[in-house]
A = this chain, B = another copy of it.
């Protein structure tokens, strides 16, 4: 993948100062960039580097006027930072979607239907009756169970496991080792201390634009026709636990190692930090935020709460309480002193 500066200028709608035919094969930071690479200058703090950079071209603001001599080519645009990130995204898409075709051996079941322009890595498995959309990338060792449906442009990284019957939307990205649709943790205690497994017969639905990190687990719903649902635009990090029948609302973001227990419904646009724990059968209002390591066993109705602690309450109040907690031995001592004083005075009288 190599482009001339002129080609990039055409993509970004920018103007070239210097050699438009010079070739670029990489993007880099201005202070690190080497020959053949493209950098950008947005924050004035970094201006010094433009006079020494090895970059073949630097994207700068239209009105940029060098204060010293410069040896790099320039590409003048309205907003260098957003032009650079646009290039980053294009580059990322190119990398993400460069794989196509079918590597062998790979497995495809009976009556499975696959779309156009897909990648099926070696040792990938597509079950019976599965339906896979266009431009889907299925990396090596991905497992797609029977009757699974996957929309267009979704990416399943190596070793993703999707149990039978799950439905994955368009533009989803699922990272390595993530498990979708394993049995919910449901066991009925018997009189003799043993447990009987409650059959888990529902599925998992991922709506469009969902991104999931590595080694996360999402359990299927318990009953026929029920689903564990991850709504449009949700972003889940690594090593997260989503139990059976949970629903995660639109555009909610959940950081690594957080767990949500069975049948809980998390609202839209919530932010759950790392290692949070949410108990089962709760409803969490929209725009709620949970601080790292917090937990709750109570539903919330008011939107926009910022919570901390376990059980969680208002984050500012938590830190105030915690500040006193750190001084509890001192507080205890003060109380003891006061008790002595008061007792002494009582005796005195």
Binding site for B on A (CB under 8 A): 26-29, 32, 85, 88-89, 91-92, 95, 103, 105, 107, 121-123, 125, 139-141, 143, 145, 157-159, 161, 163, 173, 175-177, 179, 182-183, 185, 187, 193-195, 197-201, 209, 211, 213-217, 219, 223-225, 233, 235, 237-239, 241, 243, 250-251, 253, 255-257, 259, 261, 268-269, 274-275, 277, 279, 292-293, 295, 297, 310-311, 313, 317, 320-329, 331-332, 334-335, 338-339, 341-342, 345-346
Let me know if B274 and A241 touch, CB within 8 A.
yes
Given A177-B177, A213-B183, A215-B179: A141 and B122 within 8 A (CB)?
Answer: no
What separation, in Å, do the CA atoms of A179 and B196 have in the docked complex? 24
Let me know if A217 and B214 touch, CB within 8 A.
yes
Residue of B nearest to A211 (CB): B197
Expressed in whole angstroms, the minimum distance between the Cβ of A282 and any Cβ of chain B is 12
Let me know if A277 and B274 touch, CB within 8 A.
yes
Let me know if B193 and A217 touch, CB within 8 A.
no
Let me know if B257 and A241 touch, CB within 8 A.
yes
Let me know if A335 and B331 touch, CB within 8 A.
yes
What separation, in Å, do the CA atoms of A27 and B268 have in the docked complex? 32
Let me know if B177 and A161 touch, CB within 8 A.
yes
Partner of A125, one of B123, B187, B195, B256: B123
Let me know if B225 and A29 touch, CB within 8 A.
yes
Q: Which 4 A-B pairs have the closest CB atoms?
A: A92-B199, A324-B328, A179-B214, A161-B176
Let me know if B157 and A176 touch, CB within 8 A.
no
Let me know if A324 and B332 touch, CB within 8 A.
yes
What separation, in Å, do the CA atoms of A336 and B342 have in the docked complex? 13
Partner of A215, one of B122, B177, B261, B326: B177
Given contacts A185-B237, A213-B219, 9 further A-B contacts (CB under 8 A): A157-B163, A158-B161, A177-B215, A185-B238, A195-B235, A214-B219, A215-B216, A215-B239, A275-B277
